[in-house]
Chains A and B, each alone.
Chain A
Amino acid sequence: MSNEPAIEARGLVKSYGGVRVLAGLDLQVPRGSVFALLGPNGAGKTTTVRILATLSRADAGQARVAGFDVDRDRRQVRRRISLTGQFAALDAAQTGEENLRMIGRLAGLPRAAARRRAAELLEQFDLAPTAGRRVGTYSGGLRRRLDLAASLAGRPAVIFLDEPTTGLDPQSRLTTWRAIAGVAADGVTVFLTTQYLDEADRLADQIAVLNGGLLVAAGTAAELKHRVAPQRLDLTCSNATAFEQVRSNLTHPVVHLDPAARTVGVATDGSAAQVRALLDQADPGRDLVASFAVRGATLDDVFFTLTAATPAAPPAAATAPAQEAAHV
Chain B
Amino acid sequence: MSDALIMAGRCLRLSLRSPDALLTALLLPVMLMVVFVYLFGGAVAIGTSYVQYVVPGVLLLCAITGASTTAVTVCQDMTGGIIDRFRSLDVPGTVILAGHVTASLARNLVSTVLVAAVAAGIGFRPHSDPARLAAAVGVLLLFVAAISWLAAAFGLAVSAPEAANGAMFFLMFLSYASSAFVPVRTMPWWLRGFARHQPVTPVTETLRGLLLGQPTEGQLAAALAWSGGILLASVLLSMALFRRRTA
Contacts and interface: CB of A to CB of B under 8 A. Distances in A.
A55 B87 contact: yes
A190 to B, nearest CB: 15
A78 B89 contact: yes
B89 A87 contact: no
A150 B13 contact: no
Interface string A101-128: 0110111000000000000000000000
Interface string B215-247: 000000000000000000000000000000011
B-side interface size class: 20 to 34
Interface string A78-105: 1101111111111101100010001101
A202 B81 CA distance: 26
A302 interface: no
B90 A86 contact: no
14 contacts: A54-B87, A54-B88, A81-B88, A82-B88, A83-B84, A85-B85, A86-B81, A87-B80, A89-B84, A90-B82, A93-B14, A93-B17, A98-B13, A105-B6
Interface in B1-50: 2-3, 6, 10, 13-14, 17-18
B174 interface: no
B91 interface: yes
Interface string A46-60: 000000011111000
Given A55-B246, A94-B17, A106 B91 contact: yes
Contacts of B82: 89-91
A91 B7 CA distance: 12
B88 A106 contact: no
A44 interface: no
B86 interface: yes
A173 interface: no
A84 B164 CA distance: 27
Nearest to B18: A93
Given A85-B84, A89-B85, 20 more contacts: A53-B84, A54-B87, A55-B88, A55-B246, A78-B88, A78-B90, A83-B85, A86-B81, A87-B80, A89-B82, A89-B84, A90-B81, A91-B14, A91-B82, A93-B18, A102-B6, A102-B10, A105-B6, A107-B89, A134-B17
Contacts, number: 66
A176 B4 CA distance: 33
Contacts of A87: 80-81
A53 B89 CA distance: 10
Interface string A176-199: 000000000000000000000000
A262 to B, nearest CB: 42
B169 to A, nearest CB: 25
B89 A154 contact: yes
Contacts of A56: 247
A107 B85 CA distance: 10
A106 B81 contact: no
Interface of B: 2-3, 6, 10, 13-14, 17-18, 80-82, 84-91, 246-247
A322 B30 CA distance: 48
Q: Which 9 A-B pairs have the closest CB atoms?
A: A87-B81, A89-B85, A93-B17, A89-B81, A78-B90, A83-B88, A106-B89, A89-B82, A85-B81
A159 to B, nearest CB: 10
A75 interface: yes
A84 B82 CA distance: 9
A55 B84 CA distance: 7
A107 B2 CA distance: 11
A139 to B, nearest CB: 17
B85 A103 contact: yes
Nearest to B81: A87
Nearest to A87: B81
Interface in A208-233: none
Contacts of B88: 53-55, 78, 81-83
Nearest to B80: A87
A106 B6 contact: yes
Contacts of A150: 85
Contacts of A86: 81
A150 B87 CA distance: 14
Contacts of A154: 89
Nearest to A90: B82
Contacts of A106: 3, 6, 86, 89, 91
Nearest to A86: B81
